[in-house]
């Protein structure tokens, strides 16, 4: 049975894969001249990369081996402008299940420090699933006029900081 630290190394790959997928989604929207959607997903890509780096820093601080696994290539073509957001929501739900399992593994290992570390990620995932669900509803509703999605994002999304307040430290700092 894998330990928390082994699973956390695996999660680093999932976070980097999520970052790559968000870059691919951003590029799709950028190519379609949808700058608000592109910027939203470029920010998401940086956020996921930072999550991976937080996990790397935790492993370093714990004195555990850090492995940086390869990731599968992201999906780069989409049937329409709704499909990327639907994929992003699926991805957030999958990562939420992975993070939940990490918290359970930490608890089963009796590693209270690791369990506490995962609490921030659990809250973050709840927010991510909620916001991506809302964006999917908007994109589905406005599929015939995606420019209104651009207006929605211009109104609703603020400039997010590269590292969220209260976040664990990331290896390399907030690059």
Is 171 a member of any domain? no
Please state, in angstroms and rounded to a whole number, the distance separating the CA atoms of residues 108 and 124: 22
Residue appearing with tokens 């209270």: 112
Is 175 a member of any domain? no
Quick: pLDDT tens for 63-117.
999 999 899 999 999 999 999 999 999 999 999 999 999 999 999 999 999 999 9
For residue 171, pLDDT beyond 80: no
Is 132 a member of any domain? yes
The domain that holds 8 is classified in CATH as 1.20.1260.10
Is 144 a member of any domain? yes
Is 29 a member of any domain? yes
Which residue range forms the structural domain that includes residue 138? Answer: 4-69+78-156
Is 45 a member of any domain? yes
Tell me which residue of 125, 108, 106, 128 sits closest to 41, measured CA to CA.
Answer: 128
How many domains is the chain built from?
1
Tell me how far CA of residue 111 lies from CA of 105, 106, 116, 118, 143, in angstroms.
Answer: 9, 5, 9, 11, 46
For residue 175, pLDDT beyond 70: no
Is 167 a member of any domain? no
Average pLDDT on 126-153 reads 96
Please state, in angstroms and rounded to a whole number, the distance separating the CA atoms of residues 126 and 123: 5
Is 15 a member of any domain? yes
Tell me how far CA of residue 138 lies from CA of 70, 150, 165, in angstroms.
Answer: 34, 10, 27
CB atoms within 10 A of CB 91: 22
Q: What is the average pLDDT score of the chain?
A: 93
The band of 163, judged by pLDDT with boundaries at 50, 70 and 90, is: low
Give this prediction's pTM. Answer: 0.90
The highest-confidence range among 36-40, 67-71, 163-167, by mean pLDDT, is 36-40
């Amino acid at each position: 049975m894998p330990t928390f630290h082994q699973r956390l190394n695996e999660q680093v790959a999932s976070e980097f894969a999520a970052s790559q997928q968000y870059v691919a989604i951003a590029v799709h929207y950028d190519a379609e001249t949808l700058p608000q959607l592109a910027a939203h997903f470029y920010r998401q890509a940086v956020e996921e990369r930072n999550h991976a780096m937080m996990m790397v820093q935790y492993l370093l601080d714990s004195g555990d081996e850090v492995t940086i696994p390869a990731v599968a290539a992201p999906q780069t073509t989409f049937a329409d402008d709704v499909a990327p957001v639907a994929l992003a929501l699926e991805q957030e739900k999958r990562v939420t299940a992975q993070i939940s399992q990490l918290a359970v593994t930490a608890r089963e290992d009796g590693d209270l420090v690791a369990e506490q570390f995962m609490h921030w990620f659990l809250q973050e995932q709840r927010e991510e699933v909620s916001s991506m669900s809302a964006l999917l509803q908007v994109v589905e509703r406005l599929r015939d006029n995606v420019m209104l999605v651009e207006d929605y994002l211009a109104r609703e999304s603020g400039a997010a900081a590269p590292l969220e307040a209260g976040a664990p430290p990331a290896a390399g700092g907030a690059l």
